[in-house]
Structure 1
Amino acid sequence: SILIVEDDLSLQRLYGMILENAGFQIIGSANNGEDAIKMYKSFSLKPEIILMDHRMPIKNGIEATIEILQINNSSKIIFASADNSVKKKALSIGATSFLEKPFELNTLISEIDKALSKSNSLII
């Protein structure tokens, strides 16, 4: 299950369409970091993946990621941003990966698959 956090509504819809066609379940979409946090808290079953933009009104992706990881530090957050200057920061605060816009949609799907396989692998 995936939560999409993106202020560009056309991109939000595109991600949703592509990911649903690839077999993923979209459990919600938020237009800013503040709404993303509220939505995340409201889910009894947390999303497996959060697709996070950075530049958004009210609360940016870095701020939202920090708060979400404080709630559940095993959340898998994939950053998708045109602002490459925040890549280091995003990864250092706990983002699973960083995709610089524009990127191929196949790259997004493979990053999601990678993040999911990391969480499903058992360490013995």
Structure 2
Amino acid sequence: MINAKQIIAIVDDDESIRRAIKRSLRAVGMEAETFPNSEEFLARLSSTTPYRPACVVVDYQMPEINGLELMGRLAPSRVPVVFITANVDPDVREKALASGAVAYLQKPFNVANLVEAVEMALAARQTPVERVTPR
């Protein structure tokens, strides 16, 4: 069950993508806040008003701080991340998942898959997930 007070942060430099994701999440009862780049999101995290999103949906290709670098900066906070990208490079997918992304969606993605990925991220936040690395 989704707690209405949980905020999903959407970090993407494409305004139409931010709006579409926010609208899709609101349609299923999730609240979202959007950020046009990693810098603004990080500034909000470090602001004097406490802010901790329940999950972050982050794009890979952004100016200045890309999605992978942002994930690295978020790692200590243990906020679950859903990674989205138009990039087709399989190495990007591997790096995102190896860095701890709960899900990886390639643009354009199905709204149902996005909602499912965010729900997984919210569940992962509440239940510690042990990652097993194959030998």
With the shorter chain as reference, the TM-score category is 0.7 to 0.9
> Which residue, out of 30, 41, 44, partners 2:46?
41
Task: Tell me, in whole angstroms, the C-alpha distance in 2 between the residues paired with 1:31 and 1:45.
Answer: 17
> If you compute each CA radius of gyration, which structure gives the higher value, 1 or 2?
2
Superposed CA deviations along residues 60-99 of structure 1, whole A, max 9, x for unmatched, are 11111111213x1x21000011113211111111211111
One-letter code aligned to 2:86: A
Structure with more of its chain in helix, by fraction: 1
Q: CA deviation at 1:40?
A: 2.4
1:77 equivalent in alignment to 2:86: no
Identity within the alignment, % = 28
- Equivalenced residue count is 120
| Structure 2 gap ranges (5+) | 1-6, 130-135
Q: SS of the residue aligned with 1:51? A: strand
RMSD: 1.7
Task: Tell me, in whole angstroms, the C-alpha distance in 1 between the residues paired with 2:104 and 2:111.
Answer: 14
Task: Tell me, in whole angstroms, the C-alpha distance in 1 between the residues paired with 2:68 and 2:115.
Answer: 22
TM-score of the superposed pair, with normalisation by structure 2: 0.81
| Structure 1 gap ranges (5+) | none
Q: CA deviation at 1:122?
A: 7.2
TM-score of the superposed pair, with normalisation by structure 1: 0.87
